[in-house]
Structure 1
């Protein structure tokens, strides 16, 4: 008997194992992050603009002199605080404090340009006097002066999360108290690139300044960034995916370069600092190519079926209306090619900023923040046609509720199941005493049989003796 029992247990165990082996297994791939590119620049970083994902970094928190890439912050603040048709008047400080420097376009005392014209000169020709005039104009507009603008630069940097930055001028001229890290410069540049006006200016190959009150000839501006425009006839560094950027150079800073590029739904900003010529261009191209070849953008709402279903189903009115909230349809994450969306982890972060934003989900993979998505309100409201008037025998203000037929089917199934359970319970209760009597009767019959058998045995025993 024991052998048969153990045999049955073993057979059952083997059957369970067989069933488990037949089930599809969900295997999580080993998380990896591409890191197979080398650069010559002392410090470098590649960041995806819209997600903030860092795809590559090399001593990215090391502080360096930024040179003229400083002007990205100057232009950003001008766009955020001014209209493009505002008139900027050049002061003595703007004109003469930059006299003799190669990065200027020879503006005159009292000359007037629009803010838009100044910003083109700043980004394309790296005009120091134009950057200074812009800083003075914004500072005065805010009720202060040039130093007010510098304070604003540092304040804005902190708002963007910069921790290795201190600005002391608006144009990047050598200053021991003026420094920034590649990581912080990427944060500043990514924020600037999200602005449409900045993108238009920073990506222009050329621009012509018109005649002014002090200059009777037009002034042609050409972008010094050689991945955008063949400056001084050098077309060897042109890069078809490059959409904007800013150059920088001083003897103490060496070459610095900020570049933007777009391909396959990914927008990258690359920052290289303290680079020899032409390493700032060759490193940037190498990094762009490497990142575009090894990373991909995955739309969150299209790939996260679970979240999309939940947010599209559970917030409607009686499952028959537009959902109240949904995932931002434009949000995406950056993943190494070959990795699956199911490999990422996410968690709810602090409430998203904005009236229409309910919350934010942050995604991580292989120890990297790869993107986030806002849960946003759709603006859906309970419509009156969910409570409709009828003209067939009902009062004027009487309303009825429209219910999805699927809910009626579910309710019917639940009611039938409840009735069946109640019937079975009632049946068991009614037969309780009958069943107990039958068991007692059977027990008494067994006792009488045993007693009768015992008496018969005793009679035989007495006769024998």
Structure 2
């Protein structure tokens, strides 16, 4: 039995390029071999970086990867996994009978704890057990449980996913994407009980209605030391297979301090010419190659140290200094190719043209952007490195200079000139009217005198 404990934390989502392929605003890497899966999503869980993706938003049939969401909804709605039980009802047996679904060996009225039913669902990929969980949590309604699955997918931010059943058997309305399945899988692994179950290769299930024990085996042969597909770094999560979907796999591998989540959808079971693949379960072979490529070619490296002084900026209104060095406020590390020359990183500051005294040491005044292959890989704050006092005289002249070049001062001057000009024109106009009025009055007086004479 293989059990591990994972702490899944997302520090930031960053992207770099080994062979750059830009998609959805991110730069991912490209393996040096052909990847046969139709859709792939591979993420480093230590940094949150997506290092490889292929058709990540293409709708695909998830097959039994559906049971990951079945387990999530069950775990979030059952308080006592050991004390609460469920049994295989007749209508549930009728729903699964003749479908070709993998089973856990349950017969009509067989009863077990919810925990054991979860083991059978996730390890053996038991279709009847997925229905038992749906009936129990859905209060006797599988359809209601499916609605809960879709509500949870929407809550997690899955935009290309819709579930039509809890077991993953083919239905045109049961679909997902590699990106969404990565979201679902990462969330599931944050639930301790889920991580415990999927990291197990074999588990005994004790039936409560009869004296029988069912030995449930994981369909993920990468967990079995006796299998040709065994790969020690692998931990869980779930396999799925349908003629309509090909082989599907959600799994995690941890090696040498690095943890990767990998989603494979639509892995073919035959070569392009129709011949059988070698090995027979190509999804395991594909997963191992991708994990080894990631472990062998990438590591977390430091792009900038804390306290690096990379930029000089002008200082105004102080006799103490005319400039100041800015330094990085923290270290920045990210996942990069091992053979990448760090000198290829561009450091682009985003700071004002100058600083005005007084200045306090340690004040953030901007950021330093790091760009690789045309893509920003991160930013760190830039802070001041010393205290700078202000000169009252220089501050006054600076204020005066600013006032002289101020837009509002210019506006006020223009407005004042226009107002004075209008006032002057008005005075001239009034003066002319008075003169005309005086001439007219003199003329009337003279005419009146002549009339009386």
Q: Under a length normalisation based on structure 2, what TM-score does the superposition of the two structures give?
A: 0.60
**Paired position in structure 2 for 1:80:** 76
Out of 294, 298, 311, which is 1:295 matched to?
298
Contact kept? 2:346, 2:370, Cα under 8 Å: no
Counterparts of 2:69 and 2:144, CA distance in 1: 14
Comparing 119-128 and 160-169, the one that deviates more: 160-169
Match of 2:402 in 1: none
Separation of aligned partners in 1, 2:162 and 2:378: 28
Cα distance between partner residues in 2 of 1:74 and 1:49: 23
Which residue pairs with 2:116 in the alignment? 117
The answer on whether the counterparts of 2:346 and 2:371 sit within 8 Å (CA) in structure 1 is: no
Aligned residues: 310
Q: 1:90, 1:152 → 2: CA distance? A: 21
- Residues 54 and 290 of structure 1, relative CA distance in 2, 3 Å threshold: same
Q: For residue 54 of structure 1, report the CA deviation from its aligned partner.
A: 1.4
Contact 1:54 1:368 in 2 (8 A): no
- Which residue number corresponds to residue 56 of structure 1? 52
Any gaps of 5 or more consecutive residues in structure 2? Answer: 1-15, 21-28, 270-279, 309-328, 351-368, 381-385, 392-453
Q: Is the 8 A contact 1:333 1:363 kept in 2?
A: no
Residue equivalent to 2:242: 250
Per the alignment, in what secondary structure is the counterpart of residue 253 of structure 2? Answer: strand
Q: Say if 1:209 and 1:41 are closer, same or farther in 2 by CA, change over 3 A.
A: same
1:96 has 2:91 as partner: no
1:133 aligns with 2:117: no
| Larger proportion of strand | 2
Counterparts of 1:209-288 in structure 2, within 5 Å, are: 209-213=205-209, 215-229=210-224, 235-275=227-267, 276=269, 277-288=280-291
Aligned partner (choices 26, 39, 47) of residue 43 of structure 2: 47
Equivalent residues of 2:85, 2:111 under 8 A apart? yes
Q: 1:284: Cα distance to partner?
A: 0.9
Q: Give the structure 2 partner of residue 182 of structure 1.
A: 178
1:267, 1:132 → 2: CA distance? 32
1:31 and 1:145, CA in 2 relative to 1: closer, same or farther beyond 3 A? closer
What are the within-5 Å matches in structure 2 for residues 292-331 of structure 1?
Answer: 292-297=295-300, 305=306
Q: For each residue in 1:180-232, what CA deviation from the matched residue of structure 2 results, as whole angstroms up to 9, or x when unmatched?
A: 1112111111111222221111110110112421x3221111111111126xx
Of Structure 1 and Structure 2, the greater helix share is in 1
Indicate conservation of the 8 Å contact 2:121/2:127, yes or no: yes
Q: 1:171 aligns with which of 137, 142, 167?
A: 167
Separation in 2 of the partners of 1:227 and 1:117? 22
Aligned partners of 2:379, 2:203: CA distance in 1, in Å?
37
Following TM superposition, by how much is the alpha carbon of 1:237 offset from its aligned partner in structure 2, in angstroms?
0.9
Measure, in 2, the Cα distance between the counterparts of 1:74 and 1:273.
18
Q: CA deviation at 1:167?
A: 0.8
**Residues 217 and 52 of structure 1: CA distance in aligned 2, closer, same or farther (over 3 Å):** same
Q: Are the structure 2 counterparts of residues 372 and 177 from structure 1 closer, same or farther at C-alpha, using a change threshold of 3 Å?
A: farther
Deviation digits for residues 19-64 of structure 1 (CA, Å, limit 9, x no counterpart): xxxxxxxxxxx96454233211222221223544211112222111
Residues 419-446 of structure 1 show CA distances to partners (whole Å, capped at 9, x for unaligned) of xxxxxxxxxxxxxxxxxxxxxxxxxxxx
- CA shift, 1:95, in A, is 2.4
Question: After superposition, what is the alpha-carbon deviation per residue over 1:100-144, rounded to whole angstroms, capped at 9, x for unaligned?
Answer: 43411232333321111011101110001111111222222xxx7
1:441-460 equivalences under 5 Å are none
Relative distance call for 1:112 and 1:160 in structure 2 (3 A) is same
Q: Distance in 2 between matches of 1:345 and 1:159?
A: 37
- Deviation digits for residues 72-121 of structure 1, max 9, x if unmatched? 11112222222322222332233221124341123233332111101110
Distance 1:291 1:367, change over 3 A: farther
**Unaligned ranges ≥5, structure 1:** 1-29, 308-326, 348-361, 374-409, 419-465
Secondary structure at 2:237 match in 1:
strand
Q: Provide the rounded CA distance (Å) in 2 between the counterparts of 1:203 and 1:67.
A: 20
Cα 1:239–1:344 change in 2 (3 A) is farther
**Cα shift readout 1:215-263 (whole Å, capped 9, x = no counterpart):** 3221111111111126xx6x21100110112111112212111121012
Q: Distance in 2 between matches of 1:259 and 1:93?
A: 33
Offset from partner CA, 1:347-400 (integer Å, 9 cap, x none) = 9xxxxxxxxxxxxxx998657797999xxxxxxxxxxxxxxxxxxxxxxxxxxx
RMSD, matched Cα: 3.8
Is this contact kept in 1: 2:306–2:330, CA < 8 A? no
